[in-house]
Amino acid sequence: MTILVTGATGFLGGVTARELARAGHAVTGLGRDAHRGAALEADGVRFVAADLRGADWDALLDGVEGVVHAAARSTLWGHAADFHADNVAPSAALARACARRGVRLVHVSTPSVYNATGFTQAVREDTRVGPRFDSLYARSKWQAEQAVRAALPDATILRPRGIYGVGDTSIVPRLAAALHAGRLPRLTSSEVWTDLTDVRNVAHAIKLALTRPAPGVFNVTDGQAIPLWATLDRLADTLGVPRPTRRVPARLLEGVAAALELGARLHPDRPEPPLTASGVRLLTRPMTLDLTRARERLGYAPVVTPERGFADVFAALRAAQA
């Protein structure tokens, strides 16, 4: 199969492009980082430098049978116009081009769209979402989903929760930096059980979606909730830094974060605050997703357990420190 992967110089896109190439597919990866593009080429992925803003999708899709749209502005802070330009507009244009050419599309979204719904346990894909969202990122990803479904009803939309793994550039590095700096307090008196997703499980779900007709929205996780604070303790031990012990009420810190966000919004440059309310909630509020639809319609079953996933992450961290 001839496959185009957007965001191939990013974490998920890079892992997915490489796994698809190893499986024998002819893969082209789009991205903006020439150094990472060269690494993709060395792993059998044809690299094309491209900015998705204003991309010529008809030219990029020439000869392509399937597309994985993994590129996105993935941050909890920024300007609404930038989120729209990077997440909504390219997704809509790509879906329209796929519809014109009869190309299979797997669009990677996020379960962040559920954050403001009030539902936290076994959340289903048909949970009513909006009109309120807890971040501009979540709003833009929901708008992108809507645009994709309107242009290409046969598209598969995946919502993987909290992607981690060896090479992660977001979740583990940010937590590691906070632990190293000693600025991560203990925010809850009880454990927080939450779903996350090893990047290899997301890549597996993408491969399934490319090879079988499965239109609609699908949750993707490791299928087993993890104890978040116990995992943070293991991360601290791996890094050789103290575990978080100083207790700060979550509501207090969330209030401080909200005040910092307000100050940043009032600043003419809208700089990213050192703390966001959404970021605090990720560490204090549990969330698990229902995988019934993915299991039944995609045939999805996680190929990596959380135990294996985090063992690999911690082993890579130890090797990097050696």
Q: What is the pLDDT of residues 173-195, one digit of tens each?
A: 989 988 999 888 999 989 999 99
- Report whether the peptide linkage leading into residue 131 is cis, meaning its omega lies within 30 degrees of zero: yes
How far, in whole angstroms, is CA 74 from its chain's centroid?
7
- Look at residue 270 in the predicted model and tell me its pLDDT: 76
Decide which of 261 and 43 is more confident.
Answer: 43
The fraction of the chain above a pLDDT of 90, given in percent, is: 79
Q: Is residue 72 part of a domain?
A: yes
Closest by CA position to 270, among listed 138, 82, 120: 82
- Look at residue 100 in the predicted model and tell me its pLDDT: 97
Confidence band, pLDDT 50/70/90 cuts, at residue 10: very high
Are the CB atoms for 13 and 68 separated by under 8 Å? yes
- Look at residue 174 in the predicted model and tell me its pLDDT: 86
Confidence band, pLDDT 50/70/90 cuts, at residue 74: confident
Are the CB atoms for 215 and 285 separated by under 8 Å? no
Contacts of 286 (CB under 8 A, 6+ apart): 120, 121, 192, 193, 194, 225
Q: Is residue 211 part of a domain?
A: yes
Decide which of 75 and 125 is more confident.
Answer: 125
pLDDT at 19 over 90: yes
pLDDT at 34 over 80: yes
- Look at residue 53 in the predicted model and tell me its pLDDT: 93
Give the number of other Cβ atoms within 10 Å of residue 294's Cβ. Answer: 26
The fraction of the chain above a pLDDT of 70, given in percent, is: 100
Tokens of 49: 């430098």
pLDDT at 134 over 90: no
CA distances from 82 to 4, 57, 277 (A): 24, 20, 20
Contacts of 43 (CB under 8 A, 6+ apart): 18, 21
239-296: per-residue pLDDT in tens?
999 999 999 888 888 888 888 878 877 878 777 777 777 778 888 889 999 999 999 9
Q: Is residue 314 part of a domain?
A: no
User: What is the DSSP annotation of 268-295?
Assistant: TT-PPPS--HHHHHHHHS-B-B--HHII
Q: Is residue 107 part of a domain?
A: yes
Q: Is residue 247 part of a domain?
A: no
The CATH code of the domain that includes 208 is 3.40.50.720
**Residues comprising the chain, all counted:** 322
Decide which of 182 and 151 is more confident.
Answer: 151
Confidence band, pLDDT 50/70/90 cuts, at residue 69: very high
Structural domain span for residue 121: 2-165+198-221+286-303
Tokens of 230: 């116990």
Q: Is residue 271 part of a domain?
A: no
End-to-end CA distance of the chain: 41
pLDDT at 311 over 90: yes
- Look at residue 87 in the predicted model and tell me its pLDDT: 97
Q: How many domains does the chain have?
A: 1
- Look at residue 195 in the predicted model and tell me its pLDDT: 97
- Look at residue 283 in the predicted model and tell me its pLDDT: 86
Tokens of 292: 């019934």
Could you give the CA distance from residue 308 to residue 96 in angstroms, rounded to a whole number?
A: 39
pLDDT at 316 over 80: yes
Helix%, strand%, coil% for the chain, nearest 5: 45, 15, 40
- Look at residue 315 in the predicted model and tell me its pLDDT: 96
Question: Whole-model pTM?
Answer: 0.93
pLDDT at 79 over 90: no
Could you give the CA distance from residue 99 to residue 252 in angstroms, rounded to a whole number?
A: 48
Query: How large is the average pLDDT for residues 48-52?
Result: 94
pLDDT at 114 over 90: yes
Q: Is residue 109 part of a domain?
A: yes
- Look at residue 108 in the predicted model and tell me its pLDDT: 98
Could you give the CA distance from residue 7 to residue 297 in angstroms, rounded to a whole number?
A: 26
Q: Which residues of 47-81 are buried (b: 16+ CB within 10 A; e: fewer)?
A: beebebeebebeebbeebbbbbbbbbbbebbbeee
Q: Which of 73-82, 106-115, 142-151 has the lowest mean pLDDT?
A: 73-82
Could you give the CA distance from residue 90 to residue 316 in angstroms, rounded to a whole number?
A: 34
Q: Is residue 138 part of a domain?
A: yes
- Look at residue 216 in the predicted model and tell me its pLDDT: 97
Residue 113 DSSP symbol: G
